[in-house]
Structures are given as structure tokens and as C-alpha cells.
């Protein structure tokens, strides 16, 4: 299906690996021009080379630490300087530590909130005026199913994701007057490097072998498998396209039926 995204300008944070990189690949396959950021410049350049070689589109890499407001501003200004506009913003950068409540330190809480929650808020705030002036734009927040379905030993991430659910809804209210659609995507556990790290931390907290813990955890999945990052990317591209022009203020959970709450 042609989603009509050819030559659209798409900003994606945290796009050097994992879900963010997969999202970038899907948009690139649709012919969009990309501006991507990550903290690790080497991984970022590697991702850019792969995208440009495989897809033949323009990719702007911006090394940025989204815990720093100046870097947020740099990411947006570099994109506008290069392309003139921002059509789509995908907020994806950020993760939270797993582990037992009593073992999570204050700085781990603070760092996670600053990177993911404030990172999404600040980047949306910087992009918003550019979209508002054109009365056109789309913002997609990659959140996480733990915001609705709490996971044991994942309290920090669950709290941040719950806050981002509210932020997404309220940003949609702000955007509706200006033709800016805002939606969220809440992936469940996804087959990325981040998942491998979580398995090690979760199994340690449970006092189990990582392979044993993962096998037991997988048996709780209705589809008995993780999501592939490209599946999240496909959903993001659809929500950003005019094919989804009447979808607004919604958070779509993509977790294979793992979330049981309404």
C-alpha cells in the first residue's frame, strides 16, 4: 500500500537502533526524508549509511542528548534548516531502568523522567510552532504498554508511560485547532537490544537464569512471541499517513493481546 509519505519530512528521536531504527526504515521505504537523532554518534552514522544505501533517500543525522534542552533545540533547528519544514515527529528516545523498587536510586528515576517524559514534551514543544504555522502536522509518541498494564519490577517505566498517555491525549487537544494530529503507540515487549537488557535485569531481580525467566515469561504471551520492531514501524507509518486522517487523540496498543485491561 502506498501511504502517500513520499518526500514528507520525518523527525525520529532515538533512531540509531531498536524500534526507532525500524521506524526510520519503514518511513524510508515509503520515500520519506528523515532527520534522526541519538546520543551515540557512531551508531547514528551507521544507521544513516544503512538507510541511505538501502533506500536512496535523504537522511540527516543529528547527534543529540535529549536530556539537554539545547540539544533538543539543535535537533529541530537542524531539521528546519535542512528541509524547511517538519511534517511528522516520532518521539521514541528514552528507556527506564528495571529492577526492584527498593533498589532503584533517585538518580535513576530522575534520569529516566528527564530523558523520556521531558524529552517528548520538549521536542513536541519545539516542533509544534512549525506545524502550527502551516496548520499541518502529525506527532506520534512511542509509549509502552506498561503504562496501562503494570509489569513487576518495571515501576519507573510504567509511571513514565502512564504520564505519556495523559500527555498524548492533552497534546491532541492542543493540536486539534491547528490541524496537528497527535497519537500514541504502546508496544509490548519487542525484539530489540533493549529487550535483551531487560531480560538480564528482570531475571536477576527474580533470582532466575535469564533463559529460564524468558521462557516462562513468553508463556504468558497470547501469541507466544515478541513483537518485531518493524511491526511497530508499520503502525507508525500508517498513523502518520493520510490513510489515518481521522485517527486523532488515540493510543494504539501493539502487544499481541498481552494487555487485558480496557
Is 178 in the active site?
A: no
Per annotation, catalytic residue among 136, 154, 178, 246: 154
* Joined grid coordinates for residue 225: 512471541
Q: According to the model, what pLDDT value does residue 54 have? A: 64
Count CB atoms within 10 A of the CB of residue 246: 7
Cell of 191: 525484539
How confident is the model at residue 96, as a pLDDT?
85
pLDDT tens, N- to C-terminus, the chain (262 residues): 789 999 999 999 999 999 999 999 999 999 999 999 999 999 999 999 888 776 778 899 999 999 999 999 999 999 999 999 999 999 999 888 888 899 899 999 999 999 999 999 999 999 999 999 999 999 999 999 988 888 887 899 999 999 999 999 999 999 999 999 999 999 998 999 888 888 888 788 788 999 999 988 889 889 999 999 999 999 999 999 999 999 999 999 999 998 888 8
Contact between 260 and 254 under an 8 Å Cβ cutoff? The reply is no
Q: Can you give the pLDDT at residue 239?
A: 98
Contacts of 192 (CB under 8 A, 6+ apart): 17, 18, 19, 229
Three cell numbers written together for 114: 528527564
**Residue 9, C-beta contacts closer than 8 angstroms, at least 6 positions apart:** 32, 33, 34, 35, 79, 83, 84, 85, 86, 87, 88
Amino acid at each position: 500500500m502506498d501511504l502517500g509519505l513520499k518526500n514528507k519530512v520525518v523527525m525520529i528521536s532515538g533512531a540509531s537502533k531498536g524500534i526507532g531504527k525500524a521506524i526510520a526504515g519503514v518511513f524510508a521505504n515509503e520515500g520519506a526524508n528523515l532527520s534522526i537523532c541519538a546520543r551515540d554518534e557512531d551508531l547514528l552514522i551507521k544507521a544513516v549509511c544503512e538507510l541511505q544505501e538501502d533506500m536512496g533517500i535523504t537522511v540527516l543525522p543529528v547527534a543529540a542528548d535529549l536530556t539537554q534542552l539545547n540539544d533538543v533545540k539543535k535537533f529541530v533547528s537542524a531539521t528546519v534548516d535542512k528541509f524547511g519544514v517538519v511534517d511528522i515527529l516520532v518521539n521514541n528516545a528514552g528507556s527506564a531502568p528495571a529492577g526492584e523498587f527498593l533498589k532503584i536510586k533517585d538518580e535513576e528515576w530522575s534520569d529516566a523522567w528527564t530523558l523520556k517524559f521531558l524529552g517528548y514534551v520538549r521536542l513536541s514543544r519545539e516542533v509544534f510552532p512549525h506545524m502550527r504555522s502551516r496548520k499541518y502536522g502529525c506527532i506520534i509518541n512511542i509509549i509502552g504498554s506498561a503504562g496501562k498494564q503494570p509489569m513487576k519490577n518495571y515501576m519507573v517505566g510504567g509511571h513514565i508511560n502512564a504520564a505519556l498517555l495523559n500527555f498524548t491525549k492533552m497534546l491532541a487537544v492542543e493540536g486539534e485547532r491547528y490541524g496537528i494530529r497527535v497519537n500514541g503507540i504502546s508496544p509490548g515487549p519487542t525484539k530489540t537490544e533493549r529487550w535483551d537488557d531487560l531480560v538480564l535485569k528482570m531475571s536477576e531481580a527474580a533470582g532466575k537464569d535469564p533463559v529460564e525467566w524468558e521462557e516462562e515469561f513468553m508463556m504468558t504471551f497470547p501469541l507466544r512471541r515478541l513483537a518485531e520492531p518493524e511491526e511497530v514501524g508499520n503502525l507508525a507509518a500508517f498513523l502518520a499517513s493520510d490513510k489515518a486522517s481521522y485517527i486523532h487523540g488515540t493510543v494504539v496498543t501493539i502487544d499481541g493481546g498481552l494487555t487485558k485491561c480496557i
